[in-house]
Structure 1
């Protein structure tokens, strides 16, 4: 979140913000540094990603929630309203300050694409979270039930409480009475509901994830349902895929490129546009084979993947997938044993393909996930778990450019047929968890890390 997010971690648990102090923008978020515990952290604004715009800050140890009377921040809904406008986003000035609103509006093709998918999936109701233009498009063109949750209070002059609530998606805070929204969430047995969220790209994915899960629990509670998944369209750049998958592994990326009308880079028109199209995609828990991407806009159907994809995306038989994400045609690197961007070059020191210019091996390796143990912060040749395992099992020292487990050149450690002798893998909702078969070794390593942390 601006100056804060790049240096600090944050604690987000289910509905834990109810126990946090409030600033004028609702419950705050607990931040802490990487070498600290939660007790050493501080509370700061969830909505304003720049401390200069909201200076609220409170040390964790100073917050005594049970000793302070908290007054709910519920504002009265404005009584004076303008006449109904077909789409006020066509003339309202966008609040494009990236540290707060980052308000960008979908173009007509993006609006039609989302509306078409709603019809295809037989969606009856749509929650537009931070997507005002989509809300007006759905209610005007598609005649579909839609509810707008947005941080821009100006929309209260155009919409009734049955369609709009002033809302902070970073902490799931309703500034108005949320009862009309709860009435909207109530569905008949045959009704389907979809949440479309278009957060500012500077938002922490942990916060949006927590909000989406809170809304899912609210929906299930109101409709007296068990743990039923709620359909989600999360609009975000493709390069944030790893962060989203880490927080919500059930989401997959759709290859459709969304454009904005008032952003110079995230569009397919203008001199500043990207050569390979907008980087904005939809992450969804809807099976990708149910979505239909328009052929006339440069998309095709892959029979091997059984889903629609971009026309430049070539299926890789080795990876068993159409791997391109950024609009280029990826190529398969035999040394990495995976598909990479066409302009990447292989670094034998890092054992991966990376950018040609400005590559710093030490920095790059510190951000990688080890293909052996799955932990972040090192590559396979520096893996402590594998180093100790190989010594215990008398594994010979292997040559560079070969699989560290078996010594063959035709694959890497991720795909080695012998890896299950040393590492136990399990999958849950698309996320792979890796553990060493030697539990004593892992326990000893974790204990050693705890000692080092206490010394700090």
Structure 2
């Protein structure tokens, strides 16, 4: 289901996080999420269930109104359809197949079309498919399944982009220096691989890792204590109670091994369901802690683009966005080289103490000091300048305009303040719809109505000849700056060329 906050017809879609024991219907990706379709001025929108993992009906066409009465026959047909789309083998069967595959003396084959390690009895069935031959399936290759498996790159479902080696090594080196010996890898198969490879090399202290991922193909390579088939958007374990028990056992710190979670969700995913799932994992971790008066929140590193900072901080106020730029091997833009953009927008959001995360000098980072009291995170790698009159940092190309009492481009039209996004329900500029005191009441104020301006909602007085000029509460479209000023910040060397 393609989701967005509003459309041209004045409709909006909001997610409703269900509380209590109410059970949602399930699609092949597990329990669905509840959404509400809202319209300006209406008392209450109609609610419906849709897939948690896919934003495109072509990928998963599940749809059900909340108040629909579903017949028993339809429920049985739905369950049968879900079963037909499940992996062809159980996790235990995959493990058994992998042991047999390793024992093959010669003639190992991997079907690239089916993404499956083949046993000799299956070669004939896959004879017409594209194959990887024995020379390509070495022990080293099998220890790095992300290099064998074709990434699932659908932007509206899996969006499986893999860390570049340098970003992966930085993450693992940082976690090791901070004393973490267990890493819960949620959607980060490359990090999981690197931990296992370093353990095999024996050059550093051993670390444990557990991979939670919706890509069931990794079950071919990892045991039940190393991988769980998991949907991070609805906190669903496809392996049932046994798989969730594996997570609980991993989160236990009885041996003094500190645990941290590192997650790299699809960038098109909804923040609130992700935060809800991560909070449930954190709550499971908290309940397993034996020390009294200790940390109440599980250490987390959430990897996401910087423009989601307000939404993430709304869900996790204790988080801080770090300045490290995460690169990906198979993303067309978020990587270094001639085919990538100069700066990746992907950052680390974490509840770790920022000063403890030392960014690598070899990648061009350095520690710089500023005379300003409030922090500013240089989110896209550029050097911003501070305006003493606006009391905020702006783009280097902007100049302070005395007529508009704000900074803008030198050739901007004076008198046109940037548009605002106010409350979708009552028109107030002081809050959003989710915090509106009149959220469940029909709007009766006729003083304002809504118009669209560059995809933003603006209030306008009736019978007014010109658009009402209002004070900007947010930055213009395409400009992202931090919400605070800093006394110190990490910068990139090549930003001051």
Partner residue in 2 for 1:157: 220
Please tell me whether the aligned partners of residues 164 and 328 of structure 2 are also in contact (alpha carbons under 8 angstroms). yes
1:332 aligns with 2:386: yes
Tell me how far 1:108 sits from its aligned partner: 1.1
Aligned length: 366
Which of 360, 365, 378 is 2:420 aligned to? Answer: 365
How many Å separate the matches in 2 of 1:17 and 1:131? 30
1:251 aligns with 2:313: no
Greater Cα radius of gyration, structure 1 or 2: 2
- Cα displacement string for residues 86-137 of structure 1 (whole angstroms, at most 9, x for unaligned residues): 1111121110111111001111110111011111110011111011111011
How many Å separate the matches in 1 of 2:302 and 2:403? 37
Closer, same or farther in 2 for the Cα pair 1:171/1:63, shift >3 Å? farther
How many Å separate the matches in 1 of 2:320 and 2:274? 16
What SS does structure 2 have at the residue aligned with 1:8? strand
- Cα displacement string for residues 300-354 of structure 1 (whole angstroms, at most 9, x for unaligned residues): 224x5xxxxxxxxxx3x23433432110001112343101222346677986546
- Cα displacement string for residues 391-431 of structure 1 (whole angstroms, at most 9, x for unaligned residues): xxxxxxxxx9999xxxxxxxxxx99xxxxxxxxxxxxxxxx
Tell me how far 1:375 sits from its aligned partner: 2.8
Counterparts of 1:338-377 in structure 2, within 5 Å, are 338-344=392-398, 352-353=406-407, 364-366=419-421, 374-376=430-432
Please tell me whether the aligned partners of residues 21 and 28 of structure 1 are also in contact (alpha carbons under 8 angstroms). yes
Partner residue in 2 for 1:31: 35
How many Å separate the matches in 2 of 1:185 and 1:133? 20
Closer, same or farther in 2 for the Cα pair 1:268/1:356, shift >3 Å? farther
Closer, same or farther in 2 for the Cα pair 1:63/1:112, shift >3 Å? farther
What SS does structure 1 have at the residue aligned with 2:323? strand
How many Å separate the matches in 1 of 2:431 and 2:332? 37
Please tell me whether the aligned partners of residues 28 and 171 of structure 1 are also in contact (alpha carbons under 8 angstroms). yes
How many Å separate the matches in 1 of 2:143 and 2:350? 29
Closer, same or farther in 2 for the Cα pair 1:401/1:243, shift >3 Å? closer
Partner residue in 1 for 2:16: 11
Q: TM-score w.r.t. structure 1 length? A: 0.70
For the aligned residues, what is the CA RMSD?
A: 3.8
Closer, same or farther in 2 for the Cα pair 1:210/1:100, shift >3 Å? same
Closer, same or farther in 2 for the Cα pair 1:349/1:131, shift >3 Å? farther
Closer, same or farther in 2 for the Cα pair 1:402/1:187, shift >3 Å? closer
Please tell me whether the aligned partners of residues 38 and 45 of structure 2 are also in contact (alpha carbons under 8 angstroms). no
How many Å separate the matches in 2 of 1:350 and 1:51? 46
Tell me how far 1:9 sits from its aligned partner: 1.0
1:94 aligns with 2:151: yes
Closer, same or farther in 2 for the Cα pair 1:295/1:166, shift >3 Å? same
* Unaligned 5+ runs, structure 1: 305-314, 378-383, 385-399, 404-413, 416-456
* Unaligned 5+ runs, structure 2: 7-11, 103-138, 200-205, 434-446, 448-468, 473-482, 485-497
Please tell me whether the aligned partners of residues 336 and 353 of structure 1 are also in contact (alpha carbons under 8 angstroms). yes
How many Å separate the matches in 1 of 2:36 and 2:418? 23
Tell me how far 1:296 sits from its aligned partner: 1.5
Partner residue in 2 for 1:59: 65
Instruction: Tell me whether 164-173 or 351-360 shows the greater mean CA deviation.
Output: 351-360
1:42 aligns with 2:105: no
Which of 313, 320, 323 is 2:374 aligned to? Answer: 320
